[in-house]
Structure formats: structure tokens, C-alpha cells
Amino acid sequence: MLRVYTLFLILFRNPLVSCETTDNLSSCSPYDKINGECKSGEQDTKDHNINKNVGGYLTPFDLPKPRVFTDWDNSTISLPLNPNQVIATGSIDQNKIKGKNSFSASFSVLPQIVSRETVGEILSILRFGNASSDFQPENYHGQTAVDLDSDVDTVDAMPTQEIYLDNRDLRAWSVSKDYISVEEEFGEKRTSFRRQLKERLDPILEGIITPFVMNHFSKDCAKGGKRNCTVCESLIRR
């Protein structure tokens, strides 16, 4: 069965650090700084070698510099919620690893499927429990209106900082995580929280994401009478 997982990420990103060297003004990441200045030339190579493979463990210095993918092929697709939805497709060649043949991994991006207005309302609900547009930023101190789940993530062992909006357990009136009580899961706070978020995100799932998946993976979706390509769970993660 082809499973469709929908993850809404609330990302907090820091821009690249700009710092001035003796030669010119440049930009670098925090890993490229020494005493607040960008590394360059021989010093950069020297420090890279010093910090590489510290104690036999993989460090950020062992990883190649990230590259921005630019080889997009843009087109449009007609979807119920947007008859002229832009779709950007691309592919990356994967090198041969452990006896497996090289292959090309394809992917698609649907840009701007959530409007800025909806994003603002969602952030307001997450922060204050309602979609008010007249809140003052200085009144926000980093807390969420409802405590997010903090169980250990299965990938990086860090707190998940997430809340399920929909999954099989919730549809069966069961808890989304074993350690959450029924009273908390279906209490007024979480119920109102989920209702407000789903009112804004479900139309996007039903009008853009699901129709796109059914179109893009039509052969797989047809096998189960289109039931193979319905959303099985969605969540918000900080």
C-alpha cells in the first residue's frame, strides 16, 4: 500500500552569518567561523583537518558543503483547490553504494500551497490558541497554546515537539501516543486546537495534496480503488 504522510513543519531558521575578513565582506555558516571571523585559504584547510574525524566520530566537518538544487523543471497542474498549481520537478543521481546500482531519485515540490494569511492564522493558533490577527509579537514568549508531545524521536532521539492532527488511533477515539491520557487527548484544549488547525489544513489536504498524489501515482492508487492514496496521518511539528 502506498502510504501518504503529511507533515506540517513550523521552521525557525537563522540566516547565514555575515562576517568580515581582512580581504572582503563574505558570508559563511557558523561552522566556518573562527573567533567570529570567516575562515579562508590555508587557515580553512588547516582547521578542517584538525577538526575532522575527532575521536573517530563523524563531525560536521566531514560532511560536504550543502548545495542549493537549481535544476527544476516547472509546469502547472489543475487541482480542485487551484486549477493552475505550479509543480516543480527534479531528480538527483544517487551513487552506487554497497553493490547496488546507481539510480536517479525523482521528486516534486508544490510551492505556496499554504497562503501567508493561513500561515499567520496557524502560527496564532499554535501560540495563543486562536486565529486572532491583532496579537502583539512582544506578548509571545515561545510557549505553545497546547503542550506539544515531547516523547523521544525514533530518528535522532530528540524530543518530537509535535502533535497529531489525525491518525488511525484518533479516528478510533484512542490516544495518539501511549503516554497521553484519554482525558488530555480529547479534552477541551486539544479538541479546540485540532479543530481550528484542521479547518485550515484539511482543505489543502483534500484539494491539493491528495489529488496530486492520486494523479502522480495513478497506477498505484488505482490498485486499491483510490483508497491506497488517502492520507493516513497528519501532524504539526515544531
pLDDT tens string 5-60: 555 544 433 333 333 333 343 455 444 544 445 555 444 444 444 455 556 677 87
Do 123 and 224 sit in the same domain of this protein?
yes
- Report the percent of the chain where pLDDT is more than 70: 72
Indicate whether 109 pLDDT > 60: yes
58 compared with 202, residue with greater pLDDT: 202
Query: By three-state DSSP, how is residue 43 classified?
Result: helix
Residue 93 lies in a domain: yes
Do 105 and 148 sit in the same domain of this protein?
no
Across the chain, mean pLDDT equals 79
Do 168 and 198 sit in the same domain of this protein?
yes
The pLDDT value recorded for residue 155 is 87
Do 122 and 101 sit in the same domain of this protein?
no
Contact 237, 8 (CB under 8 A): yes
Residue 68 lies in a domain: no
Contact 4, 224 (CB under 8 A): no
Do 49 and 31 sit in the same domain of this protein?
yes
Residue 126 lies in a domain: yes
Residue 83 lies in a domain: yes
pLDDT band at 208 (very low <50, low <70, confident <90, very high): very high
217 compared with 99, residue with greater pLDDT: 217
* pTM for the model: 0.68
pLDDT band at 192 (very low <50, low <70, confident <90, very high): very high
- Number of folded domains in the chain? 3
Contact 136, 230 (CB under 8 A): no
The pLDDT value recorded for residue 134 is 65
Give me the domain span that covers residue 121: 4-11+114-237
Long-range pairs for 57-60: beta carbons < 8 A, 24 or more residues apart = 60/31
Do 193 and 167 sit in the same domain of this protein?
yes
Of 40, 48, 45, 42, residue with least CA distance to 21: 40
Amino acid letter at 47? D
